């Protein structure tokens, strides 16, 4: 984990600074929440190969949440999910484009809120 000094000069999400666990731990937390919200088996979500569209949407949502809720860089998201940084960036773009769908937008907003609340409760809010 990079020290706060290493983050100087780099714009970061304040949540990312509070979340001091490695990106793999972030994935575990996000995967559990996304698998439940999207009713996708955890094994399918974590599979290294392509899956059906509903699983792809859930996995892309998980990558998006890792980037947005925990402030992980695309490189960190890619590493945590066993993918390339460009795949993580593509996933985030796809989800941003689909947020016009009210159902998806509501689900993502609730997940993001719950994940941030979990981080705040676990690691404490930074003043």
CATH number, domain containing residue 35: 1.10.1750.10
Bin 70: left if φ > 0, else alpha if -120 < ψ < 50, else beta: alpha
Query: From the centroid of its chain, how far is CA 26?
Result: 7
Answer whether residue 10 is part of any domain: no
Q: List, in order, residues 6 or more apart from 63 with CB less than 8 Å away.
A: 77, 81, 83, 87, 88, 91, 92, 95
| pTM: predicted TM-score of the whole model, two decimal places | 0.78
Beta-carbon contacts of residue 15 (< 8 Å; ≥ 6 apart) = 69, 70, 71, 116, 119
pLDDT of residue 27: 87
Structure confidence at residue 7 (pLDDT): 32
Domain-located, residue 16: no
Q: Which domain holds residue 55?
A: 22-121
- pLDDT score for 79: 92
E strands within 9-118? none
| Tens of pLDDT, residue by residue, the chain (127 residues) | 333 333 333 344 444 444 445 667 788 899 999 999 999 999 999 998 888 999 999 999 999 999 999 889 999 999 999 999 999 999 999 999 999 999 999 999 999 999 988 766 665 554 4
- For 87, residues 6+ apart whose C-beta sits below 8 A from its C-beta are 63, 78, 81
pLDDT the model gives residue 2: 35
Q: What is the pLDDT of residue 122?
A: 61
- Residue 43 belongs to a domain: yes
Say what the pLDDT of residue 117 is.
84
Element (H, E) at 66: helix 53-68
Q: Indicate the number of domains in the chain.
A: 1
Residue 11 lies in a domain: no
């Amino acid at each position: 984990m990079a020290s706060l000094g290493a983050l100087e000069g780099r714009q970061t999400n304040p949540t990312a600074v509070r979340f001091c666990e490695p990106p793999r731990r972030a994935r575990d937390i996000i995967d559990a929440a996304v698998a439940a919200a999207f009713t996708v088996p955890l094994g399918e979500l974590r599979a290294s190969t392509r899956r059906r569209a509903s699983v792809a949407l859930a996995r892309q949502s998980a990558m998006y949440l890792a980037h947005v809720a925990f402030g992980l860089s695309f490189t960190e998201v890619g590493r945590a999910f066993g993918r390339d940084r460009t795949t993580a960036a593509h996933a985030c773009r796809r989800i941003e484009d689909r947020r016009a769908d009210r159902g998806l937008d509501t689900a993502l907003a609730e997940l993001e809120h719950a994940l941030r609340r979990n981080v705040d409760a676990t690691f404490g809010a930074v003043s």
